[in-house]
Each structure stands twice: as C-alpha cells, then as structure tokens.
C-alpha cells in the first residue's frame, strides 16, 4: 500500500509497461465480448430471464395476491393455501417476514406470468433445484414468464439475509403433469 506519493509526481506521462498494456487490452476485449454475449445468451442460450419490472405499492400488491389466492385456492398445506394458478395466466407469490406465500401449483408445459414482490424488505427468490435467482424488493414487482418443463416439487429459498427467521423462509411450487 502506498503511504507516500510516487517519486515522480507526473506519473501518468510515463510509458506503460508492455506486459501491463497487453493485460489491459485483453481485459478490455474480454469485457467487450462478454457485453455482447449477454445479448446473445438472452436470445439464443435461454439463460437470462426475460423479466418485466414495475413499481407497485406493497399494499396494492398484497391485495392482488390475496384476491388471487382466494379465487384459485384448492387446498391447504402447512397452514398455507395451495393455489392452482390458471394456465396461461397471471400467477402471484409474495415475500414477507418470513414466508413465500402462497404455495403454487403449476402445470407442466403451460406458460405463466409469475409476479413477485415483497411487502416489507429485501428477500431473495432462489428456485431450487433449477438455478434461478432474483432479488425481491418492496415497491418493485417482477414479472417472469416461465414454462415449467419438468413435474415435481420445487423449493423457493430466500437467499438474501432478512433477519432472525431468514433460514425458515422457504416457499413451494408444485408442478404437476
């Protein structure tokens, strides 16, 4: 660590070492390549999520999710409603201290618009075992268009530390045939 100024105060006029210059050029070109690969992977690699993001009042979001859950509820599991989302339509999940609510039932091969938001503070939406990670903030609504390709039980893990109950904040999505 430098605790005194460089001997030559006008250091930026000095010739850059050849080796250093080579690394600067490599890093620059790599960064440029990765920038364009982001767009390519989005279009052809299907790796990046096609998300839409809107501002929303947490209270309004809560009402929407509750109305959705009430309308399409098919059962209960661990004191939480299990909601069968309408195929091809809007489906909702909300994050709050310390739960992902409600439990969703989706159908394999159908496309859904999944809405996600938080009512209190930052939470994480980490869909397991598939590797999808989204930061969820209050006041911001994410809409993800997704089509489950496999049946089974999926877990939503909160991966942003949100306090004493963080480790218990686990949601569920059932995908049926």
Judge whether 162 and 170 are in contact, CB under 8 Å: no
Beta-sheet strand order (sheet of 51-55): 51-55, 140-146, 112-118, 90-96, 99-101
HSE value, Cβ hemisphere, 13 Å, CA-based, for 74: 10
Residue placing its CB nearer to ligand CUA in the complex, 56 or 98: 98
| DSSP codes of every residue in 3-16 | -S--SSS-GGGSPP
Residue placing its CB nearer to ligand CUA in the complex, 123 or 142: 123
Query: Of 177, 129, 176, nearest to 154 (Cα)?
Result: 129
Query: Of 38, 51, 32, nearest to 116 (Cα)?
Result: 51
Query: Of 174, 156, 177, 158, nearest to 166 (Cα)?
Result: 158
The nearest distance, CB 24 to ligand CUA, in angstroms, is 40
Query: Of 142, 138, 102, nearest to 120 (Cα)?
Result: 138
The nearest distance, CB 67 to ligand CUA, in angstroms, is 23
The nearest distance, CB 77 to ligand CUA, in angstroms, is 20
Residue placing its CB nearer to ligand CUA in the complex, 49 or 170: 170
| Sites of contact with ligand CUA (CB under 6 A) | 98, 123, 158, 160-162, 166, 169
The nearest distance, CB 116 to ligand CUA, in angstroms, is 12
Residue placing its CB nearer to ligand CUA in the complex, 68 or 125: 125
Residue placing its CB nearer to ligand CUA in the complex, 84 or 98: 98
The nearest distance, CB 56 to ligand CUA, in angstroms, is 18
């Amino acid at each position: 660590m430098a605790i005194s100024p460089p001997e030559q105060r006008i250091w930026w006029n000095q010739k850059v070492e050849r080796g250093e210059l080579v690394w600067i050029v490599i890093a620059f070109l790599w960064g440029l390549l990765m920038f364009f690969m982001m767009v390519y992977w989005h279009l052809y690699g299907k790796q990046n999520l096609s998300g839409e993001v809107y501002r929303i009042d947490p209270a309004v979001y809560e009402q929407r999710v509750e109305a959705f859950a009430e309308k399409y509820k098919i059962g209960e599991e661990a004191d939480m409603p299990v909601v069968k989302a309408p195929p091809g339509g809007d489906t909702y999940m909300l994050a709050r201290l310390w739960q992902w609510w409600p439990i969703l039932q989706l159908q394999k091969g159908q496309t859904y618009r999944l809405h996600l938001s938080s009512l209190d503070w930052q939470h994480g939406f980490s869909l397991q075992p598939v590797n999808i990670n989204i930061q969820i903030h209050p006041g911001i609504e994410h809409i993800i268009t997704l089509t489950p390709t496999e049946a089974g039980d999926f877990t939503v893990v909160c991966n942003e530390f949100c306090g004493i109950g963080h480790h218990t904040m686990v949601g569920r999505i059932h995908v049926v045939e």
